Each structure stands twice: as C-alpha cells, then as structure tokens.
Amino acid sequence: MRPPAVAGLFYPENANELRHDVNGYIAECSPRAAVADRPKALIVPHAGYQYSGPVAGFAYRLLRDWSASIRHVVMIGPSHRVPMRGLAVPSVDLFATPLGQVPIDVAGRERLLELELVGISDAAHAAEHSLEVQLPFLRVVLEDFDILPVTVGCAPAELVARVIDAVWGGPDTLVLVSSDLSHYHTWSEARQLDAETTRSIVERRSDLPDEQACGACGINGLMQVARRRDLTVEVLEQRNSGDTAGDRSRVVGYGSYALYET
C-alpha cells in the first residue's frame, strides 16, 4: 500500500475536514445545465487545494453526474521529484487516502507492462503529489472505482498516447490528466500564457511546451488521442493562484477541461 505523501500539506489530513473542503469546492462552482454526454477525459490541476481546489471543483462537479457509471480511472501525471525516462506504474495494490483506500486496476497495469509501454517504479510514485491530490476528489464524487496511476518523465507524446489508447476502455473508464499551467509569472503574464494554452487544448494540438504546463507531456499525449478519436473539448474553468489565493506578483495557472466522445 502506498501511504499519503502530502496529506496535511496540500490538503487536510483530517478526513472530516477534507471531505468538507472537497464538497465545498464542488458546491461553489457555478451551476451548469446537465450534460447529455459522459466525459471521457478530464484535465485537472494539482496544486495545494487552497490554490487549485476551486478550479478542480469544476471538473469534479461535472464528474459527479456520472458517478455510478465510472469504474476505472486512468491517471496520468508528471513526475516532479524523480527524474526518469518514459512512464512508470507502481507495484502496490492500494493507494491510501484520509478518506479510505483506493485499489489499483491490476488488469490495466498488467496490460501496459505486457505491451512494454511502462516500467515499474515505486520511487516515482512515493512522494508524487500530481496524482495523489486527485484521489480525495475522486473518493467524494465516485462510488466504486479503481485507479491506474501512471507517472510521466521524459517521454514523447506518441508514447503517452499509446499508453492512453491501450487502456482506453469503454464508457466505464475515465482518463484523467493532471497538470497545472504556467508557473511564476505575474498575474497578467500568466493570463496571457494560459489563454494560449487553453487555445492549444481546444484546438487539440500536441506541441504544448513544458514552460506552459508542468504536465505538458500528458496533455500532448491526450491531444493526439483526441484528434484520432475525434473528441470534443470543453473549457470548464481557467484561473491562477492570483485569483484564488490573492498574491498576483508570482502566480501559477490552473485550468479544468473536459473531453467527450462524439
């Protein structure tokens, strides 16, 4: 079992407080008309909840409408702490959270390993926050699900796309790419850069540079799949830490996006 690494740092360690905060972020999102189509993929930010929680809430509010039908979540996130080439899955059977344990999709992991698209690295997952911070939101909005956590190091978009395609699954499978946007610009500079990133995602381009998103490799791989499968893209919300936490002199950008099968 992988224990939480950033509970008490990026989000509350106390289960009651954590559930309250997650429900609050979701409830604060603007009401939207019911969507007829289930999202097949989401792009969601992964910073500390006080910064990115209000933006992540838009994605999970949308997901909540389909909670009973989603059983598998393929999670793609950057490796912040362990330099690596390629992609890695953990060897553990469970990820622990303050809201309970989440099982690993063993069949999906074995498929990726058999295809030699990923390697095993517990070190790449041990302290990684990009996937962990999504788990409390998933625990709150989904009913019964497992996860396939994949960290991405230095890897071409084509490889990420092959991984996503290999575990694409049916309507009960969701692909979740974890990524923040621009880092450490002024509020106005970030607004311009993040608007360019949003245009790139809406146009399903796969040439997003690392300077515009820390999870650019995951986004680029998903965009390759989106073009091939003719997915449509919806912008759910875009802000930065200057909007959510106050300081506008040096901000980090966040965006939530949904992709749908036509």
- DSSP 8-state code for residue 137: H
Give 198's Cβ-side CA count (13 Å radius). Answer: 20
Distance CA 24, CA 20 (A): 6
52-80 in b/e form (b: 16+ CB < 10 A) is bbbbbbbbbbbbeebeeebbbbbbbbbbe
Residue at token pair 């993040």:
194
In percent, the amount of the chain with pLDDT more than 90 equals 93
Distance CA 184, CA 168 (A): 34
User: Helices then strands (H, E): number in the chain?
Assistant: 10, 11
199-204: list long-range contacts, CB under 8 Å, 24+ apart.
201/43, 201/233, 201/235, 201/255, 201/257, 202/233, 202/235, 204/231, 204/233
**Domains of the chain, CATH where assigned:** 15-260 (3.40.830.10)
Write down the pTM of the prediction: 0.96
Average pLDDT over residues 145-169: 98
Average pLDDT over residues 136-158: 97
Of 50, 34, 22, nearest to 140 by C-alpha is 22
Average pLDDT, the chain: 96
Average pLDDT over residues 212-236: 97
- DSSP 8-state code for residue 98: T
Q: Where are the beta strands (DSSP E) in the chain?
A: 39-44, 72-78, 87-89, 94-97, 100-103, 119-120, 146-152, 173-178, 183-185, 232-240, 251-260
Average pLDDT over residues 18-36: 82
- pLDDT score for 36: 60
The angle at the Cα of 13, spanning 12 to 17, to the nearest 5 degrees, equals 55
* pLDDT tens, residue by residue, 55-73: 999 999 999 888 889 999 9
Q: How many residues does the chain have?
A: 262
Confidence bin at 32 (pLDDT 50/70/90)? low
- Burial of residue 154 (number of CB atoms within 10 Å: 0-12, 13-18, 19+): exposed
Whole-number Cα distances in Å, 133 to 5, 8, 111: 10, 11, 25
- Which of the two residues, 65 and 27, has the higher pLDDT score? 27
pLDDT at 87 over 90: yes
pLDDT at 34 over 90: no
Distance CA 130, CA 135 (A): 10
pLDDT at 182 over 80: yes
pLDDT at 35 over 80: no
**Alpha-carbon torsion 55, 61, 67, 70, what sign?**
negative
The pair phi, psi for residue 46, each rounded to 5°, is -140, 30
- pLDDT score for 31: 62
- pLDDT score for 220: 98
- Which of the two residues, 245 and 136, has the higher pLDDT score? 136
How many of the other CB atoms lie within 10 Å of CB of 94?
16
